[in-house]
Structures are given as C-alpha cells and as structure tokens.
Amino acid sequence: MYAFFFRHVLSRLDPERAHHLAFDVIRAIPRSGFASLVRRYTAPDASLAVRALGLEFESPFGVAAGFDKDGRAIVGLGLLGFGHVEVGTLTAKAQPGNEKPRLFRLVPDRAVINRMGFNNGGAASAALRIAQTTSASWRPIVGINIGKSRVVDVADAIDDYRSSARALAPVADYLVVNVSSPNTPGLRGLQELDKLAPLLTAVREEAGPVPLLVKIAPDLSDDEVRRISELAVSLGLDGIIATNTTISRDGLRTDPSVVDAAGAGGLSGPPVAARSLEVLRLVRAVVPAEMCVISVGGVETAADVAERLTAGATLVQGYTAFLYRGPFWAREVNRGLARIGRRQDAQRSH
C-alpha cells in the first residue's frame, strides 16, 4: 500500500515537503490515542536487545541523524520500532540551512541527494525540547549529533562545538561530533588529524560522562580511516559512526541529466552501501572489540542490517530507505532480524 502511495502521491511532491508531511504524522502518533496500539504492532522482539555505550537498546536498528533535526519526533519514532534516534545535526547557532530546493530523489537508485546545510533551530532550543521527552513512555535511546555553525569560521570551530556540547550533553544518551557532512564549507577539513584531535579533546571535556562518538565520511582514503580510528582509540572515545553521505556519483542508474540537475550535495542510499561496509570493516579491524561502531549507509532490509552486524557493527542506522519503505520500515527490519536470529540459533543447535 505504501509503495502505491509513494508512486502516485509522494513521488509527485517536492521531496522536502513530502518529508515534512510524513514527519508531522510521526510527531502526532504519541498524542493520537493509538500510541499503545502502534507500540504493540511495532515493538522489537526481546531477543534483539543490545547493550552498548553503557545503555540498553531495544533493537540494534535506529534512525540516522538528518531525519529528526530538532528532536521533535523522538517518541513517535520510538513508537515505530526504532531502537534509537540520532537527533540533529544541531549547531550552536540557529540557521536556516541552504537555499531550496535542497533535497532530491534518485528513484531508480532508491537514493537521495541532499544539501540541507544543517538547518535547525539551535542547540539551546533543542535541549529544552529533548529534556521534555526524558520521562515519556516509549522513548528510545537518544543520540545527539552536533556540527559547526555556518557563520563560524573553521578556525573558531572548537569553541562552537564546545557550546553545542555544553547545551546538549545533559539531555543526550550519547553525543556525536559530525565533521563529515559535505554541505557546510570547510567542515570535512576538520577530519584532518591535526584539527580533529584538539576538537574531539575539547568536546570530550564538555561531554563529561556522556558517551562520545565521531562520524566520518565514506570519501576518506583507507589509510585516513585507519588513522582516525586509531586517534579515536587513543583519545578514549566511545565509538565511531561510519559513514556519512558521499560526494561520489559513481555507478548510478538514474539518468545523468537528473543527477546533474540535482547538483552538489551528499548522496545517500544503496549507492553508498558498498563503501560504507568497507569502511565499517576497516574501522573494526583497528578498534578494540568493546568499542561501539555504528554502521550507516545504504541499508534497506533486515538482511542488510544483519550483514553489518556480522561485519562488526554494534548498531546500525538508516534514513534514506524510510522515504521509500514507509512508516513501518523499522518493524519490517526488526521482524526480519528476529527471524534471522531464530534461524541462526536453530542452525547452531544442530
């Protein structure tokens, strides 16, 4: 039914408008009177629970940053079956993001190009909103992803990140330093080790006991991935998220004229899956087994998520397939993961 609705209704709407319509529905679920019914339909199987970052996740599958930029739909997303929601990217200063249009579907690839530009209402405003969810029923684990404010020079990025971390650490289950979006000028340069080490050290100080992770780009070289992984270990970070969107346009099935018309931005969805999996394996080969590694990039099905878990991911995130799979995507993935787990248990028992 959703596939029919997407093909004949949503696909004809501006992608950002379609996102906002779906988002408003998700926000309304906790107040709809149907929350308990939705929860019974979508609750992850108990066998899927994962202990990571000192926290208990109902499912290893969560929503990547970018879907809920301001922490407005945390409880609704939890009700849909996501084990965690990564809010953001949030910046110290409120900002409107890039000019529209800034979100584009590549339907033949089930992919998306975005150049949103960290549009959000600012860290302080989000902190107040997220704090109001702490006692809510069905609240998932909440990660908060922070980035550099566009008006702040790269040379002043540390103080800017410090400000965001100071405001958001008290309401976060974990924090993520985003230095890998392609849509903020100069941001990816912060992945250079001489810039990244002092930045992560500063945010670590502000985060205090809150688990801290860094999110990296798929466009790094293998050697750069290894070096950043080693840095994360040496600084005592709690984890790495691999990966963000890619600036590559290789191997797309969508008409090149459509891709060219979309222009610059980060590509997400199945076209980034292979590189995301490669980066996951590179990271896991460097970091200790107990370090949390969150894999994101191109996952659609339970089999995709299971592949990432087998390759060493502690948790897995998705976003783009939400647009193509619909509101019960997390339920589909969780049900599939439970079936895969039962099948594996049966094979081991023989």
Annotation marks residue 181 as catalytic: yes
Contacts of 228-232 with CB under 8 Å at 24 or more apart are 228/191, 228/193, 228/196, 229/282, 229/283, 229/286, 229/287, 230/286, 231/193, 231/196, 231/197, 231/200, 232/200, 232/287, 232/291
Cα separation, 112 vs 266, whole angstroms: 8
How many C-beta atoms lie closer than 10 Å to residue 292's C-beta?
21
**Are 266 and 115 in contact, with CB atoms under 8 Å apart?**
yes
Among 59, 149, 180, 181, the one annotated catalytic: 181
Statement: the pTM of the whole predicted model exceeds 0.75: yes
Count the helices and strands in the chain (H runs, E runs). 13, 13
The tens place of each residue's pLDDT in the chain, 350 residues long, gives: 666 666 656 667 788 888 888 888 899 899 888 888 999 999 999 999 999 999 999 999 999 999 999 999 999 999 999 999 999 899 999 999 999 999 999 999 999 999 998 999 999 999 999 999 988 888 999 999 999 999 998 889 999 999 999 999 999 999 999 987 776 767 677 768 778 899 999 999 999 999 999 999 999 999 999 999 999 999 999 999 999 999 999 999 999 999 999 999 999 999 999 999 999 999 999 999 999 999 999 999 999 999 999 999 999 999 999 888 888 999 999 999 999 999 988 888 87
Residue 222 parent element (H or E): helix 222-234
Strand partners, 104: 113
Cα separation, 89 vs 105, whole angstroms: 21
How many C-beta atoms lie closer than 10 Å to residue 174's C-beta?
25
